[in-house]
C-alpha cells in the first residue's frame, strides 16, 4: 500500500510527512514525530491516556487514523506548557497532588484542559462524569477533580 | 492490521461511487472490503483485532453532513430534527434543539466517554457493530456473525452483556447503542443515499434481528450511506433510564427510552425502546399495545413490561436481564408519566 502525504499542524508547527494509512495519530505523534509525552495505554480507546486535542476537541489519538487529521490542528501535552511555564491545569495537578505514577497524567491534563473550555458542567459530580474517559489506576480521582475545580474557580475569581 | 487504501471524498455522490465497484453495472456487489469511515472509533478496534479487514476505507468525515436543522414535519408530525449523519454525539447532545428532548439528550450523554462522544458520529453510532467479545476475538472460531454456520461461542461460554430478545441459540449478540434505543422510541427515520437513489427507512426497520440472520447487521444495500436522521419531536414527555455496572462510561445492562403523553389519566401516546436486551434496538410493541389508550397505573405498567419480556431467551449468564428490564421499564414509565399508583 502506498503511503499518504499528510500535512498537519502539531503544537503550532506545520508537519508534512508520508504515512502508512494504518498509522494511528498516536503512533504518528510518538514514533514519527518523536512527541512521546502522549501515552499509549490500552491502544483500544478505553483508558484515555492518549488524549490529545484536534481542532480544540479532546479525542483519543489511538482511535484516530493519522490520515484523518490531514489539514487539522493537533495539540499534545508538549504544546500546552513547558517546565518553565506550566499550563494552569499542570500547575493545579501539582498543587493538588493529582497524580502518583504519572502514566495517565498527560491524558488527564489534556482532557481537563479541554473540559475547562466546554459548557454545561458545574459540580464535582459533573467533573467526575466528564473526566470518566480517563482512567487512573493509582486512584487519584478525588484530587484530579480538585485540580479541575481549582482551575475553574481561579478563572472565575 | 491488514493494509488498506485510504481515500477522502467531499460529497455524498463521490462517497457512494467510491465504495461501489462499478457504478454503471449496479448489479455488481460492492466488495465486502470497501467501507465508509467517519469517527472510526469502533472500526479501528475491529481492524486492529483482525475481526474486520477492509481493502478500502472511504473517509466521509468531511462530507457536508454536520448540521442539525429544525424543519416543519408533514401531517401528524410537529417539528422534525434533521440531523446530518456526521454530527458527533457530543454536538447533538449539546444542540439547543435537543435541550427539551430528554430521551435523546440523555441517551447520548450517558453513552461512551467525552472523548468518544467528540469523535463518534450519529450515523456510525446507529450502525455500530456488536460488542460481543466472542465476535471481537478472531481466535474464537464459533461465531455465526463472523462465519455463518460456525456456531455461537457466547451461548456455550460466558454470557452477560448479551441479548435476550430477538435472539436464539444461533447468536445472542447485543446491539449496544443507547442512541438507537431512543431513536426507535421517537419514530425516527434514517435517510439513505445509495447507487440507486435516496430512500428513508424507520430506524426500527434498519437492523436485522440475530434470530432472523446473525450474519447481517442491517438492511443497507451495497454502497448505501446514511446521510441524515429525521427525528420527529413528539408532543409528549420523554426520558431515558440506563442501568449499568458502574455509574459512568459503561454499556447498559438494561435501559428504557419512554415517550408518553397522558390525557385525563389515559395513555394517549406511548412509544418505548429497550436497550441492553435486544439484538436490535428494541421497540417494545407488545408493551405499547398493553398500554395504549388505557388508564395509566403501576399495575398496568407491570403488565406491559411482563408482556414485553415474556418470551425472553435466557442463559445462566443473562437470566437476570428480563427482571431487570421489567423493573427498568416500569420505573421509567412511572418517572415519565409521573403516575405513581
A60-113 pLDDT, tens digit each: 999 999 999 999 999 999 999 999 999 999 999 999 999 999 999 999 999 999
> Which has the minimum average pLDDT: B1-5, B89-93, B148-152, B210-214?
B1-5
Find, among B180, B198, B200, the residue nearest to B280 by Cα: B180
Residue of A nearest to B112 (CA): A133
Mean pLDDT, chain A, integer: 97
Contacts of A70 in chain B (CB under 8 A): 8
User: To the nearest whole number, what is the mean pLDDT of chain B?
Assistant: 94
Beta bridge partners, B202, equal: B189
Please determine whether the domains at A4-80 and A88-156 fall in the same fold group of CATH. Answer: no
Name which of B122, B126, B272, B108 is nearest B186 in CA terms: B272
Query: Which pLDDT does position B184 carry in this prediction?
Result: 98
Q: DSSP readout, A20-51? A: -TT-BHHHIIIIIS--TTS--SSSSSSS-TTE
Decide: B220 and B208 in contact? Cβ < 8 Å: no
The backbone torsions φ and ψ at residue A84, rounded to the nearest 5 degrees and listed phi first, read -80, -30
Most B-contacting residue of A112, A132, A134, A136 (CB-CB within 10 A), to test interface = A132
Nearest to B113 among A21, A48, A64 (CB): A48
Shortest CA gap A68–chain B (Å): 8
Q: Give the list of residues 6+ apart from residue B22 with CB closer than 8 angstroms, or none.
A: B28
**How close A130 gets to chain B, by Cα (Å)?**
6
Q: Which CATH architecture has domain A88-156?
A: Orthogonal Bundle (1.10)
CA dihedral B336, B338, B339, B341 (to 10 degrees): 120
pLDDT tens-place string over residues B37-87: 999 999 999 999 999 999 899 999 999 999 999 998 776 668 999 999 999
* Complex ipTM more than 0.85, yes or no: yes
* pLDDT above 50 for B23: no
Decide: A29 and A16 in contact? Cβ < 8 Å. no
| pLDDT of B32 higher than 70 | no
| pLDDT in the model for residue A102 | 96
Domains of chain A by residue range: 4-80, 88-156
Find chain A residues with C-beta within 8 A of B37's C-beta: 65, 68
B31 pLDDT more than 60: no
Residue of A nearest to B58 (CA): A68
Cα separation, B290 vs B300, in Å, equals 8
Among A59, A69, A75, pick the best mutation site for testing chain B contact (most B Cβ within 10 A).
Answer: A59
Distance from CA of B316 to the nearest CA of A (A): 28
**B109-B313-B218-B140 Cα dihedral, nearest 10 degrees:** 90
Task: Give the closest of A1, A70, A130 to B4, CB-based.
Answer: A1
The SS3 of residue A5 is: strand
Q: Do B8 and A120 lie within an 8 Å CB cutoff?
A: no
Which residue do the cell numbers 435466557 mark? B314
> B7 at the A interface (CB within 8 A)?
no
**Three-class SS of residue A6?**
strand
Residues of chain A that touch chain B, judged by Cβ-Cβ distance less than 8 Å = 1, 4, 20-22, 24, 43-45, 48, 51, 57-60, 62-65, 67-68, 70, 111, 115, 118-120, 128-134
Q: Are residues B94 and A57, on separate chains, in Cβ contact within 8 Å?
A: no
Nearest CA in chain B to A2: B5
CA B115 to chain CA mean position, Å = 20
User: DSSP assignment of A73-84, as one string?
Assistant: EEE-HHHH--SS
pLDDT band per the 50, 70, 90 thresholds, residue B21: low
For residue range A76-89, what is the model confidence (pLDDT) as tens digits?
999 999 999 999 99
Residues of A in contact with B90 (CB under 8 A): 57
Decide if B216 touches A, using CB distance below 8 A: no
What topology does CATH give the domain A4-80? Ubiquitin-like (UB roll) (3.10.20)
- Backbone φ, ψ for residue A91 (5° rounding): -60, -40
Write a three-state SS string for chain B. CCCCEEEECCCHHHHHHHHCCCCCCCCCCCCCCEEEECCCHHHHHHHHCCCCCCCEEEECCCCCCCCEEEEECCCCCCEEEEEECCCEHHHHHCCHHHCCCHHHHHHHHCCCCHHHHHHCEHHHHHCCCCCCCCCCCCCCCCECCCCCCCCEHHHHCCCCCCCCECCECCECCCCCCCHHHHHHHCCCEEEEEECCEEEEEEHHHCECCCCCCCCCCECCCCCCEEEEEEEECCCCEEEEEEECCCCCCCCCCEEEEEEEEEECCEEEEEEEEEECCECCCEECHHHHHHHCCCECCHHHHHHHHHHHHCCCCCCCCCCCHHHHHHHHHHHHHHHHHCCCC
8 Å CB contact of B59 and A22: no
> Does B96 lie at the interface with A, CB-CB under 8 angstroms?
no
In this complex, the residue of B8, B40, B114 whose CB is nearest that of residue A58 is B114
pTM of the model: 0.96
Of B40, B94, B116, the CB nearest to A65: B40
pLDDT for position B73 = 79
Closest approach of chain B CAs to the CA of A81, in angstroms? 21
CA distance A19 to B93: 34
Helix axes A88-95, A141-156, angle to 10 degrees: 130
- Measured between beta carbons, the chain B residues lying within 8 angstroms of A51 are 115
Q: Contacts of residue A57 in chain B, CB cutoff 8 Å? A: 90, 118
Q: Which residue of A has its CA nearest to B55?
A: A1
Chain A contact set for B116 (CB, 8 A): 45, 60, 63, 133
Query: What does DSSP say about strands B34-37 and B56-59: parallel, antiparallel, or unpaired?
Result: parallel
Mean pLDDT, residues B235-254 taken together: 97
pLDDT band, very low/low/confident/very high, at B200 (cuts 50, 70, 90): very high
Residue with the three cell numbers 408493551: B287
Kindly determine whether residue A1 and residue B115, on different chains, have CB atoms separated by under 8 Å: no
B22: pLDDT strictly greater than 80: no
Amino acid at each position: 500500500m502506498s503511503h499518504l502525504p499528510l500535512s498537519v499542524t502539531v503544537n503550532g508547527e506545520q508537519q508534512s510527512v508520508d504515512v502508512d494509512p494504518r498509522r494511528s495519530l498516536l503512533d504518528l505523534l510518538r514514533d514519527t514525530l518523536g512527541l512521546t509525552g502522549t501515552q499509549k495505554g490500552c491502544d483500544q480507546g478505553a483508558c484515555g491516556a492518549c488524549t490529545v486535542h484536534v481542532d480544540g476537541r479532546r479525542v483519543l489519538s489511538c482511535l484516530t487514523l493519522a490520515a484523518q487529521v490531514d489539514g487539522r490542528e493537533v495539540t499534545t501535552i508538549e504544546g500546552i506548557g513547558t517546565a518553565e511555564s506550566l499550563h494552569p491545569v499542570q500547575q493545579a495537578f501539582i498543587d493538588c497532588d493529582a497524580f502518583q505514577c504519572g502514566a495517565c497524567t498527560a491524558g488527564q491534563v489534556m482532557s481537563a484542559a479541554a473540559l475547562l473550555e466546554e459548557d454545561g458542567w458545574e459540580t464535582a459530580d459533573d467533573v467526575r462524569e466528564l473526566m470518566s474517559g480517563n482512567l487512573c489506576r493509582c486512584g487519584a480521582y478525588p484530587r484530579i477533580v480538585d485540580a479541575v475545580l481549582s482551575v475553574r474557580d481561579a478563572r472565575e475569581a | 492490521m491488514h493494509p488498506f487504501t485510504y481515500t477522502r471524498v467531499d460529497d455524498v455522490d463521490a462517497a457512494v461511487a467510491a465504495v461501489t465497484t462499478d457504478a454503471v453495472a449496479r448489479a455488481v456487489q460492492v466488495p465486502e472490503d470497501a467501507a465508509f469511515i467517519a469517527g472510526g472509533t469502533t472500526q479501528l478496534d475491529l481492524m486492529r483485532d483482525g475481526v474486520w479487514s477492509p481493502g478500502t476505507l472511504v473517509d466521509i468525515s468531511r462530507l457536508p453532513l454536520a448540521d442539525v436543522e429544525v424543519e416543519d414535519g408533514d401531517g401528524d408530525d410537529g417539528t422534525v430534527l434533521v440531523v446530518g449523519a456526521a454530527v458527533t454525539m457530543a454536538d447533538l447532545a449539546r444542540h439547543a434543539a435537543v435541550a427539551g428532548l430528554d430521551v435523546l439528550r440523555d441517551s447520548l450523554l450517558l453513552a461512551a466517554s467525552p472523548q468518544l462522544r467528540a469523535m463518534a458520529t450519529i450515523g456510525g453510532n446507529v450502525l455500530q457493530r456488536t460488542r460481543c467479545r466472542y465476535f471481537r476475538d478472531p481466535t474464537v472460531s464459533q461465531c455465526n456473525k463472523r462465519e455463518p454456520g460456525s456456531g455461537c461461542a457466547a451461548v456455550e461460554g460466558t454470557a452477560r452483556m448479551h441479548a435476550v430478545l430477538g435472539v436464539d441459540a444461533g447468536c445472542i449478540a447485543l446491539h449496544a447503542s443507547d442512541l438507537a434505543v431512543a431513536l426507535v422510541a421517537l419514530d425516527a427515520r434514517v435517510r439513505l443515499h445509495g447507487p440507486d437513489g435516496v430512500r428513508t427507512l424507520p430506524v426500527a426497520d434498519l437492523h436485522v434481528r440475530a434470530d432472523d440472520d446473525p450474519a447481517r447487521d442491517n438492511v443497507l444495500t451495497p454502497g448505501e450511506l446514511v446521510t441524515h436522521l429525521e427525528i420527529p419531536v413528539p408532543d409528549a414527555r420523554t426520558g431515558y433510564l440506563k442501568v449499568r455496572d458502574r455509574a459512568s462510561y459503561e454499556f447498559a445492562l438494561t435501559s428504557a427510552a419512554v415517550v408518553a403523553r397522558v390525557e385525563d389519566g389515559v395513555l394517549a401516546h406511548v412509544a418505548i425502546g429497550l436497550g441492553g436486551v435486544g439484538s436490535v434496538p428494541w421497540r417494545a410493541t407488545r408493551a405499547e399495545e398493553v398500554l395504549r389508550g388505557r388508564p395509566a397505573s403501576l399495575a398496568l405498567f407491570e403488565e406491559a413490561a411482563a408482556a414485553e419480556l415474556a418470551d425472553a431467551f435466557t442463559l445462566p449468564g443473562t437470566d437476570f436481564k428480563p427482571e431487570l428490564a421489567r423493573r427498568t421499564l416500569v420505573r421509567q414509565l412511572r418517572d415519565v408519566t409521573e403516575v405513581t399508583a
